[in-house]
Amino acid sequence: MKFPASPPAWHPLFEAAIRKGESSHFFNSGEEELRQDRYLHWDEFRHRYHPMGGLSVEEQWAALRMRRASRSQPVSLKDSGGRNFTFFLTQRAFEELHEIDLHCGGGMATPQEGIIDRENRDRYYINSLLEEALTSSQLEGAVVTRSEAREMIREGRAPSSKHEKMVMNNFKTMAMLSQLKDRDLSPELILEIHREITAGTLDDPRDEGRLRTSNDQVRVEDEESGEVFHVPPPADELPERLKRLCEFSNEKGMAGFLHPVIRSILLHFWVAYDHPFVDGNGRTARALFYWSMLRHGYWLAEFFSISHEILKAPKQYYRAFLYTETDGNDLNYFIHHQLKSIRGAIEALRDYIRRKQEEVAQLKRHLGPGSGFNHRQLALLKHALMHPDAAYTVASHQASHQISTQTATTDLNFLVTNGLLTKARVGKAFIFAPSADLSSKLGFQP
């Protein structure tokens, strides 16, 4: 990935415009761009604009940057040089936050709509945990397929590689966050989350749940060129920086209101910027984003995956960090990227739920009224139709739906009784497989 071009400093250009008597042109510039739905960095701006209105491209940028700066407010996060990071809410950000508020606490939560009904809630929850665990690990270099990850989780088998261990750790950590959301954030809690998420995946096990030291040469580099993109703050500053991060997260010593979603996004950025660990910083940062969302009552965050959205265009994710750092610590680049990712994740969840509801409805239509199959059995039958060579166990069915051993056994034996599954003992366990003529028994055309 190419390092973005650094913007020209806007203060000297503004002062020069005043000296030349061109302040009126300067003040009239930038307003139209500010109203746009986009938030251009200089790296893009310089290619889209040309000299006009008596101003060079650099002067037009300076005018826009001055308008942005005049609206911005500082946060307590400072860069390595002691300069505050800043942000302001654009029209687009207000719209995105409104939609997130509606969907995370309103429309998708109402029982009347039945978007996430009680009987399917556990299945959606497990699928979401798996998707976030997998894609967050893939962002950090894990080479694991979706089918491999799903099989590992469903079967409850031990990971067979470091990459699978990353996925399993992420899965367990994500499941743990709802139990941690009522605790104030503390350095100890951050270390605990990092320890859980990295256990058995680092080159040196002693780095699990340990802040980096001055002996650790940690930096963010381009994998292909080796170009250094980010050098985190010195290790001896980390205790104080983590203390300020926790105060920010816990809303201590702050005046005024900060939208909880923005606070969660900034927590994500802060951990990634400080890079407090030798490895596992990205996974920890994204986990803390989820922790913060759940802490502030956005329960739907348990059901969507931002890493799935980020993985669609990972360079845009990393570029959002670089745009912020190279443009005077303007956090809006990262905020806009994350708001878009959250909205995309919510839409993906809605599409997934609609698709699953239609699939189950279609299966019910084929089976006819009064078939007696519950939603778990219908889900298994749908999977069996698409995977005729699949094998199921009581443990895998139990893990897929978070149910008791007795309930899982009853579900599977009912399908055997109806001739839809076969049952065979392998060792000490029973293996259930789709019947050879399953499609015709369910009323589907062969």
Q: Which stretch of DSSP H or E encloses residue 273?
A: helix 260-274
220-221 and 421-426: which strand pairing? Answer: unpaired
Q: Which two tokens stand for residue 30?
A: 């930038």
Instruction: Quote the CA–CA distance of 222 and 236 in Å, as a whole number.
Output: 25
Residue recorded with tokens 């293996």: 431
CA 84, CA 102: separation in Å to the nearest integer?
32
SS3 for 81? coil
The per-residue pLDDT of the chain, averaged, comes to 89
Check pLDDT > 80 for residue 245.
yes
Q: How far apart are CA 164 and CA 175, in angstroms?
A: 17
The answer to which of 17-31, 87-101, 259-273, 318-332 has the lowest mean pLDDT is: 17-31
- 156 versus 132: the higher-pLDDT residue is 132
Helical spans, DSSP H, in 327-441? 332-367, 375-386, 394-401, 405-417, 438-441
pTM (two decimals): 0.85
Cα–Cα dist 356/53, whole Å: 55
Do the beta carbons of residue 149 and residue 167 sit within 8 Å? yes
pLDDT in tens, 3-21: 899 999 988 888 887 777 7
As a whole number of angstroms, the distance between CA 176 and CA 400 comes to 17
- Please say if the pLDDT value at position 94 is more than 90: yes
**Residue that the structure tokens 């996925």 belong to:** 167
Q: Which residues pair with 276 in a beta bridge?
A: none
Q: How far, in Å, are 37, 139, 320, 331 from residue 309 at the CA level? A: 20, 11, 14, 20
Residue 320 binned pLDDT confidence (cut-offs 50, 70, 90)? very high
Sign of the alpha-carbon dihedral angle for 318, 323, 329, 333? negative
Contact (CB, 8 A) for 306 and 286: yes
Residues with Cβ within 8 Å of residue 163, at least 6 apart in sequence: 137, 141, 142, 143, 144
Cα–Cα distance, 194 to 171 (Å, whole number): 13
Q: Taking a C-beta distance cutoff of 8 angstroms, is the pair 390, 375 a contact? A: no
Whether 346 contacts 104, CB under 8 Å? yes
Domains annotated on the chain, with CATH:
10-71 (no CATH), 76-351 (1.10.3290.10), 377-441 (1.10.10.10)
Residue 117 has what pLDDT?
A: 65
Residue 375 burial (CB count, 10 A):
17
Highest mean pLDDT among 24-28, 86-90, 352-356: 86-90
* Three-class SS state of 296: coil
For residue range 355-371, what is the model confidence (pLDDT) as tens digits? Answer: 877 777 778 777 766 67
Is 439 in contact with 363 (CB distance < 8 Å)? Answer: no
Least confident of 103-107, 149-153, 381-385: 103-107
Give the lowest-confidence range in 77-86, 246-255, 311-320, 363-372.
363-372
Residue 445 has pLDDT above 70, yes or no: no
Annotate 162-183 with b (16+ C-beta within 10 A) or e (fewer).
ebbbbbbbbbebbeebbebeee
How far apart, in whole angstroms, are the C-alpha atoms of residue 9 and residue 23? Answer: 17
The predicted pLDDT at position 113 comes to: 47
Q: What is the pLDDT of residue 267?
A: 98
Pairwise CA distance, residues 254 & 74, whole Å: 12
Question: Is the pLDDT assigned to residue 104 strictly greater than 60?
Answer: yes
